[in-house]
C-alpha cells in the first residue's frame, strides 16, 4: 500500500519569512501565508497594502522585525516607522508621499510679467502679492527671475536699510572693549540679505581663550530681518538706569574673556525681557538670534553665565553697585531726595533652624519666614 506524502502548507514557490510565515510576490502583486492560510494580499503597485502586511506580521508575532525587514527588502528602522505611522494615522499614513513639487508653480510667464509691471509702477512687494494673490516671497522670486541683476537693490529698498552706515556699534558703558577696532569694522555692502549670517568670531574666541584680548567688541551686520530685534528698544531704558556704567565702577577687575561685562549684563536683561530670568532659561532661547542683538555670533551658554555671575557674587560688591546706581538717580533727580519708599518683604525660610512663623502671602498660610523692611 502506497502512503501519500503530507501536502505542504505553503505553495512551493513561496519564500519563507519565518517558521510560520511565507510570501509570494510576482508581477500581479503579493500574498502572505501564515501556517498555510492566506492572510494578506495586495495588487501590484499597492504600496500601502504591502506595508500593512509587513506591520501586521510583526504585530501578530508571526515574524520578528528583522525577518520582516529582510523579506520586504527594507531596514528594521523602516519597518518600525511603518508601525508608528499606522498607529498614528491608520492605513492612509502608509501611502507613500509624492516626491518633488506638490503642484505646478504659480509663477507662470504671464504672472511674472504682471509682477514686473506692477513693480515698475512703484508698488511694494506686499502690495503686489495682495494684487496677484501670491506670497511676498513668490513676488521676490518672480522679480529675481525677471531681472536677476536688480533684485538685491529692490529688496534693499523694500526693507529700508541705509547702506552708508557702518556695520559696527559701540556698546553702552565705558568698557574699552566696547570700541570697535579697525579690523572689526565692516562696511555695509550694496545689497542687504534678508537674514545675514553673523560675523565669524572664531579668531577672537581663540585670542580670548589665551588672554590676548580683554573682550570681543560687538559687531552688527546689516540685514533685512533680525529675530528678537525688538529687544534693542530697551537699550535707551537700560542706559538710563546706569546699570552698566555703575557696574564698571563696582567691578573694575572683571576678568578678561570673549564675553565682556557689558555683554553679560545686556544678555541678562534681554533674557529677562524674553521671560527667562534664570540662567538655565537661555537653553530655551535661540543662541544665534540672541547673539545677533548682542553683536556677537551667539549668546553665552548656561555654564558661562553661571561662571560670570559667580565671579560677581564672590566679589561681594553688590551693595556698592546699588549705592552707585542710587547716587546717580539722586543726582539726576534732586527734587526726589526727600522721598523714601518703605517696603516690607516676607522671605520663606527653607533651612533647618527653628524660627518663628509668620504669614507668607505667596503661600497664603503661616510658615517659617523672615520679615525684611526695605527703605529706598
Q: State yes or no: pLDDT of 364 exceeds 50.
A: yes
Tally of structural domains, the chain: 4
Res. 93: pLDDT tops 50 = yes
**For residue 64, what pLDDT is reported?**
93
Q: 285 and 261, same structural domain?
A: yes
In a domain, 328, yes or no: no
Residues 244, 280: one domain? yes
Whether residue 325 lies inside any domain: the answer is no
3-state secondary structure of 33: strand
The whole-number pLDDT of residue 341 equals 82
Residues 212 and 307 in one domain: yes
Q: Tell me the pLDDT tens digit for each residue of 40-92.
A: 999 988 999 999 999 999 999 999 999 999 999 999 999 999 999 999 888 88
Q: What is the pLDDT of residue 32?
A: 92
196/308 same-domain check: yes
1 domain-assigned:
no
195 pLDDT above the threshold of 50: yes
Q: pLDDT: is 148 or 62 the higher one?
A: 62
Could you tell me which residue, 338 or 218, shows the higher pLDDT?
Answer: 218
Residue 185 clears pLDDT 70, i.e. is over it: no
Contacts with 369 (C-beta within 8 Å, 6 or more apart), sequence order: 346, 347, 348, 349, 355, 357, 358, 360
Averaged pLDDT for residues 208-215: 87
Instruction: Give the model confidence (pLDDT) of 298-326 as tens digits.
Output: 899 999 999 999 999 999 999 999 999 98
pLDDT for residue 189: 42
Say how many C-beta atoms besides its own lie within 10 A of residue 46's C-beta. 15
Q: How far apart are CA 375 and CA 341, in angstroms?
A: 6
| Count of CB atoms situated within 10 Å of the CB of 184 | 17
Average pLDDT of the chain to the nearest whole number? 82
What band does 234 get if pLDDT is binned at 50, 70 and 90? Answer: very high
Task: Identify whether 80 is part of a domain.
Answer: yes
Residues 187 and 278 in one domain: yes
Q: Which own/partner contact pairs does 314-317 have at CB distance under 8 Å and 24+ positions apart? A: 315/250, 315/251, 315/253, 317/250, 317/251
- Check residue 82 and give its pLDDT: 93
Nine-digit cell string for 225: 530681518
Give me the percent of the chain exceeding a pLDDT of 90: 32
253 shares its domain with 300:
yes
* Grid cell of 369 as nine digits: 519666614
CA atoms within 13 A on the CB side of 30: 18
pLDDT in tens, 235-265: 999 999 999 999 999 998 888 899 999 999 9
Answer yes or no: is pLDDT of 3 > 90: no
Whether residue 212 lies inside any domain: the answer is: yes
| Whether residue 34 is found in the same domain as residue 64 | yes
| 186, 190, 195, 200 alpha-carbon torsion, rounded to 10° | -20
Q: Please tell me the predicted confidence (pLDDT) of residue 103.
A: 65
Asked whether residue 102 is assigned to any structural domain, the reply reads: no
Mean pLDDT to the nearest integer, 187-198: 57
What is the Cα–Cα distance from 44 to 64, expressed in whole angstroms?
25
Burial (0-12, 13-18, 19+ Cβ within 10 Å), 291: buried
Q: Who has greater pLDDT, 26 or 335?
A: 26
Measured CA to CA, the distance from residue 61 to residue 63 in angstroms comes to 5
Supply the pTM of this predicted model.
0.45
Tell whether 193 and 69 lie within a shared domain: no
Average pLDDT value for residue range 152-158 = 43
Residue 369 confidence (pLDDT) above 60: yes
pLDDT at 222: 80
pLDDT for residue 152:
43
- Is 217 in the same domain as 149? no
Q: How large is the average pLDDT for residues 344-351? A: 87
Question: Does 1 have pLDDT greater than 70?
Answer: no
Three-state secondary structure string covering 172-228: CCCCHHHCCCHHHCCECCCCCCCCCCCCCCHHHHHHHHCCCCCCCCCECCCCCCCCC
**What is the rounded average pLDDT of the residues 340-369?**
87
Buried b / exposed e along 302-335 (16+ C-beta atoms within 10 A) = eebbeebeebbeeeebeeebeebbeebeeeeeee
Alpha carbon distance 324, 335 (integer Å): 18
- Is residue 20 domain-shared with residue 136, that is, in the same domain? no
Query: In this structure, is residue 130 part of a structural domain?
Result: yes
Q: Do 294 and 186 share a structural domain?
A: yes
Helices and strands, counts by H and E, the chain = 14, 7
Co-location of 200 and 233 in the same domain: yes
As a whole-number percent, the residues of the chain with pLDDT over 70 amount to 82
List the domain range (segments joined by +) for residue 359: 340-376
Say what the pLDDT of residue 193 is: 63
Strand ranges (DSSP E) for 85-173?
none
More confident residue, 339 or 230: 230
pLDDT exceeds 60 at position 282 = yes
Identify the DSSP state of 68. Answer: H
Q: Specify the DSSP class assigned to residue 3.
A: P
* Within-domain flag for 103: no
Q: What local confidence, expressed as pLDDT, does residue 373 receive? A: 87
User: Looking at residue 221, what is its pLDDT?
Assistant: 81
Amino acid at each position: 500500500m502506497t502512503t501519500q506524502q503530507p501536502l505542504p502548507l505553503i505553495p512551493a514557490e513561496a519564500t519563507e519569512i519565518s517558521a510560520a510565515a511565507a510570501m509570494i510576490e510576482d508581477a500581479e502583486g503579493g500574498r502572505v501565508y501564515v501556517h498555510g492560510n492566506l492572510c494578506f494580499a495586495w495588487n501590484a503597485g499597492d504600496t500601502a497594502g504591502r506595508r500593512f502586511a509587513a506591520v501586521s506580521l510583526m504585530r501578530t508575532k508571526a515574524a520578528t522585525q528583522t525577518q520582516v525587514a529582510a523579506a520586504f527588502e527594507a531596514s528594521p528602522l523602516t519597518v518600525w516607522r511603518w508601525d508608528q505611522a499606522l498607529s498614528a494615522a491608520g492605513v492612509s499614513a502608509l501611502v507613500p508621499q509624492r516626491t518633488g513639487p506638490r503642484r505646478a508653480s504659480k509663477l507662470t510667464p504671464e504672472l511674472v510679467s504682471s509682477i514686473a509691471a506692477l513693480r515698475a509702477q512703484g508698488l511694494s512687494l506686499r502690495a503686489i502679492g495682495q494684487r496677484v494673490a501670491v506670497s511676498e516671497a513668490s513676488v521676490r522670486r518672480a522679480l529675481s527671475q525677471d531681472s536677476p541683476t536688480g533684485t538685491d537693490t529692490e529688496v534693499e529698498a523694500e526693507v529700508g536699510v541705509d547702506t552708508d552706515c557702518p556695520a559696527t556699534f559701540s556698546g553702552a558703558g565705558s568698557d574699552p572693549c566696547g570700541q570697535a577696532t579697525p579690523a572689526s569694522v565692516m562696511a555695509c555692502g550694496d545689497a542687504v540679505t534678508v537674514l545675514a549670517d553673523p560675523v565669524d568670531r572664531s579668531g577672537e574666541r581663540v585670542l580670548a581663550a589665551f588672554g590676548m584680548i580683554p573682550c570681543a567688541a560687538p559687531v552688527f551686520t546689516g540685514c533685512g530681518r533680525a529675530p528678537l530685534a525688538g529687544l534693542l528698544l530697551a537699550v535707551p531704558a537700560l542706559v538710563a538706569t546706569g546699570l552698566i556704567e555703575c557696574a564698571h565702577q563696582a567691578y573694575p577687575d572683571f576678568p578678561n574673556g570673549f564675553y565682556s561685562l557689558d555683554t553679560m549684563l545686556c544678555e541678562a536683561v534681554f533674557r529677562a525681557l524674553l521671560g527667562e530670568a534664570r540662567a538655565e532659561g537661555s537653553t530655551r532661547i535661540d543662541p544665534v538670534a540672541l547673539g545677533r542683538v548682542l553683536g556677537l555670533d551667539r549668546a553665552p551658554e548656561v555654564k558661562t553665565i553661571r561662571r560670570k555671575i559667580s565671579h560677581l557674587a564672590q566679589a561681594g560688591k553688590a551693595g556698592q553697585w546699588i549705592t552707585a546706581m542710587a547716587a546717580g538717580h539722586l543726582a539726576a533727580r534732586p527734587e526726589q531726595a526727600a522721598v523714601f519708599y518703605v517696603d516690607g518683604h516676607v522671605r520663606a525660610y527653607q533651612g533647618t533652624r527653628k524660627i518663628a512663623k509668620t504669614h507668607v502671602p505667596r503661600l497664603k498660610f503661616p510658615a517659617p519666614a523672615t520679615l525684611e523692611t526695605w527703605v529706598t
